[in-house]
Amino acid sequence: MDYPLTLQHFLERAGRLFPDKEIVTRAPAGIHRYRYRDYYRRTHRLARGLEKLGVQHGDRVGTLVWNTHQHLELYFSITCYGAVLHTLNLRLSTDDLAYIINHAEDRVIFVDRSLVPLLAKIRGRLSSVRQFVVIENGAAADHEFNALDYEQLLAAVPDEPYAWPRLDENCAAGICYTSGTTGHPKGVVYSHRALFVHSMAFAMADTFALSERDTLLQVVPMFHANGWGTPFAAIMTGSKIVLPGEHPQPRDFAQLIQDERVTIMGGVPTIWIGLDSVFQEEQFDVSSLRLAIGAGSALPRKLIEKYQKEHGIELCQLWGMTETTPVGTVSKLKQDLACRPEEDCFRTRAKQGLPVVCVDLRAVDDQGLEVPWDGTTMGEVQVRGPWITSGYYNDSRSDSAFMDGWFRTGDVATIDPEGYVQLVDRAKDVIKSGGEWISSVDLENAIMGHPKVLEAAVVAIEHPKWGERPLAIVVPKPQFQDRVTREEILAYLEPRFAKWWLPDEVLFVDAIPKTSVGKFDKKVMRARYKQFPGTEASGAERA
């Protein structure tokens, strides 16, 4: 049967089968609630608004918006209309923001009132944008900005179902840009088919089992890799959806988990570290939370154990990237492995996990040969599948991103005999000392297991003898400021690593630089500490 896999099916199913399900937004004026029936009508109405604005099939429409119900309306009205949803990263520099808007040739931009000043700085540099639409969301109009009003746009069109066009499942539905850690951000285009199949995978029992019975807290910014795809999957399944709105903090998440009986949520490790601190200081009922998903960087094993033992919450690793939509692997225990001793189970759960259905994965060496699944041989991770990118949008860097039809991720990993992937490092972050490799990820995870440490990053510092040596950058827990020493950290690491793996220096800081999506920004740290004193004079002797 000719049945194109488009997002229109998800929206129409949700409106017909789950009209009473809630969509909740934390807003400046308080909690905003409405139901799927309201969401469905407004999304159809917004499509008429896009038509009124002259948006054509294939036009890119930008959204510079927090995680709100209006952003969720834009997610489906733009894509089902046949235009391309371009979520703009509100944490990018103004130069990068201007670049991606011009590179994508956005025709219309929807912007949250609180973010108007950010867009106003670059408005004169935006060559393709014909119209701006401002979403108030209770924020004060503190900046002059000539634009249409979102609610007025909706009010100016009939409140009637919109006749969706028949779309090819392979046509573009969305575009996201990488965070630009090296060079300009790169655009990744997602087809309707890719988002459709990815959403179904998210609902599988051996991934996250998202269902109509769940309440999703959308912590992941909706500008980051489509919010990890969960907004699409949640509408598909009919889940209750909770959106944290503007500038959410860990305590806001804890309050929403308790008040809305959240069952599933995802976030980068810094989110889970921050939430743990809140749980230590205040009492919140988080018994409803069945699954916490961590990605963006490796979850420390001690954090996984802590959530399980102290909070009764399964903290599950996901590995992926903007180019993989983003789900690539999920760390779920096979049935026979779950029966093994607790120590073995946590060791396996701390890996990035098994490739999900529809994702083929391999690791290759410098000669392009696949390395054995022995758990020790390292290679670059390469993937292929129906939601893996086929190239960057209008970008010559696509040529070097593939090998024999496989996407080159730039991640270095081992794969064990059971098929579990364990990231060793990013290719550009792995430390080469005296011709031997040192994993910054392994050192970071170990340091973050120290009871006095909140966060830790490890970067390579140039060394005249060994080429590179590791520098540990550590944030102590607040109660241990000035009460943890370099010697303590090194003594904690000594039983776990060869002597030559140990950092030459340990630097204690108040905060670690992070990227726009919450990852440790090692590019900034390498530049900042390039001439860090002590590294040239020291250097662990090899044992």
Q: Which of 215, 311, 270, 228 is nearest to 515 (CA)?
A: 270
Q: Is 432 part of the annotated catalytic residue set?
A: yes
Spot the catalytic one: 6, 63, 178, 409. Answer: 178
Hey, what amino acid is at 69?
Answer: H
> DSSP string of 516-529?
TTS-B-HHHHHHHT
Q: Which of 44, 300, 314 is nearest to 154 (CA)?
A: 44
Spot the catalytic one: 323, 380, 455, 505. Answer: 323
Spot the catalytic one: 121, 432, 465, 530. Answer: 432
Angstrom distances, CA of residue 178 to CA of 87, 199, 243 = 11, 21, 23
| Distance between CA atoms of residues 456 and 475, nearest Å | 6
Q: Which of 377, 488, 503, 525 is nearest to 444 (CA)?
A: 503
Q: Is 178 part of the annotated catalytic residue set?
A: yes
Q: Is 437 part of the annotated catalytic residue set?
A: yes
Please provide residue 469's backbone torsions phi and psi, each rounded to the nearest 5 degrees.
Answer: -135, 150
Dihedral angle over CA of 10, 13, 18, 21, nearest 10: 20
Count other Cβ atoms within 10 Å, centred on residue 96: 17
Residue 253, token pair as written in the block: 């998440």
> DSSP string of 285-321?
--TT--EEEE-SSPPPHHHHHHIIIII--EEEEEEE-
Q: Is 418 part of the annotated catalytic residue set?
A: no
Hey, what amino acid is at 150?
Answer: Y
Catalytic residues: 178, 323, 432, 437
